[in-house]
């Protein structure tokens, strides 16, 4: 990407997005938040991509959060803080709204905005040396609305407050018990665990995975069955090639061979 700090690799049906500032524990600059949003939006409409992986460069951090060195210019005063909030929100929303499953690979630190980015992903696979937390009280900042909503997908409100009030990092094991992390693997087995998830996801209907993510968003917004968005979502599934292939494969007692994902923009 433009600033050279968000790297993208494609390998068949898998796209890997790398936060590439290992010398700064992959702290996210304003430009990186912007490029992250653009990268994920681009991948969202690529029908050949069926899984997105987000990870940090090196072995010391997924991301230490927003780059604090930018705060005096980027987040001081309401106007600047609001503009920065919009950048972060756009990135988190792009990740959550991607039709593909999004996996976060957590090695080392996942702190502040880094933890909130991981929470926006669908699956979080952590090494047993990962450390997570929201030590924002030491900076005098607050999480934005979008960041808090990503955490509310995983934690009760009181647990979010508790994380901030503790002001310290927790282990991957404790994060797993809280529901913040999907799976914890020994450092030496982390990549095997990630590949196992990728392989599993590639055996599933991309249409079902896309529809499930969209349905959860619709269901939590309080829509009724008569809402045209729900009807369109049902039509997109039950009129899809993936549905026909899944049923045919079951009846023929074979594994399904699913094709490219069909995005929600294509739904009738």
Q: Kindly report whether the global pTM for this prediction surpasses the value 0.85.
A: yes
Query: Above pLDDT 70, what percent of the chain?
Result: 95
The pLDDT tens digits for 115-154 are: 999 999 999 999 999 999 999 998 899 999 999 999 999 9
In sequence order, which residues have a C-beta less than 8 Å from that of residue 39 and are 6 or more positions away? 1, 6, 8, 17
Q: What is the dihedral of CA 81, 86, 38, 237, to 10 degrees?
A: 150
The pLDDT tens digits for 21-76 are: 999 999 999 999 999 999 999 999 998 999 999 999 999 999 999 999 998 888 88
The pLDDT tens digits for 169-198 are: 999 999 999 999 999 999 999 999 999 999
pLDDT at 261: 40
| Alpha-carbon radius of gyration of the chain | 19
Task: Please give the C-alpha separations between residue 199 and each of 15, 179, 192, in angstroms, as whole numbers.
Answer: 13, 23, 10
Mean pLDDT along residues 240-246: 89
String of DSSP letters for 241-256: HHHHHHHHHHHTTS--
Cβ–Cβ < 8 Å for 15, 8: yes
pLDDT at 266: 39
Inform me whether the pLDDT recorded for 220 exceeds 90: no
pLDDT at 259: 65
- Specify the residue for token string 């700064």: 24
Q: What domains can be seen in the chain, in order of their start residue?
A: 6-202 (3.90.226.10), 206-266 (1.10.12.10)
The Cα 129–Cα 171 span in angstroms is 7
Inform me whether the pLDDT recorded for 4 exceeds 80: no
pLDDT at 3: 53
- The average confidence (pLDDT) of the chain is 92
Strands (E) in the chain, as ranges, are: 6-11, 14-19, 51-56, 61-63, 102-106, 109-111, 123-127, 131-133, 170-171, 183-185
Query: Above pLDDT 90, what percent of the chain?
Result: 81
pLDDT at 264: 37
Tokens at residue 105, please?
A: 């690979």
Cβ–Cβ < 8 Å for 243, 205: yes
């Amino acid at each position: 990407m433009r600033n050279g700090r968000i790297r993208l690799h494609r390998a068949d049906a898998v796209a890997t997005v790398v936060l590439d500032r290992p010398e700064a524990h992959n702290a996210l600059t304003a430009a990186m938040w912007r490029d992250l949003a653009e990268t994920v939006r681009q991948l969202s409409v690529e029908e050949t991509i069926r899984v997105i992986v987000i990870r940090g460069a090196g072995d010391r951090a997924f991301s230490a959060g927003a780059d604090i060195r930018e705060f005096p210019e980027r987040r001081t005063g309401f106007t600047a803080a609001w503009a920065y909030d919009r950048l972060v929100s756009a990135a988190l929303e792009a990740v959550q709204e991607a039709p593909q499953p999004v996996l976060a690979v957590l090695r080392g630190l996942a702190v502040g905005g880094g933890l909130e980015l991981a929470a926006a992903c669908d699956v979080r696979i952590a090494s047993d040396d990962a450390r997570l937390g929201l030590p924002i009280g030491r900076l005098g900042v607050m999480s934005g609305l979008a960041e808090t909503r990503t955490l509310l997908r995983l934690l009760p409100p009181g647990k979010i407050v508790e994380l901030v009030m503790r002001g310290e990092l927790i282990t991957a094991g404790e994060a797993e018990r809280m529901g913040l992390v999907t799976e914890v693997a020994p450092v030496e087995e982390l990549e095997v665990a990630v590949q196992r998830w990728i392989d599993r996801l590639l055996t599933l209907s991309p249409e079902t995975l896309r529809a499930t993510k969209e349905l959860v968003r619709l269901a939590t917004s309080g829509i009724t069955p008569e809402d045209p968005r729900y009807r369109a979502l049902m039509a997109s599934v039950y009129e899809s090639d993936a549905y026909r292939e899944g049923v045919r494969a079951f009846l023929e007692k074979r594994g399904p061979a699913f094709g490219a994902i069909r995005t929600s923009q294509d739904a009738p």
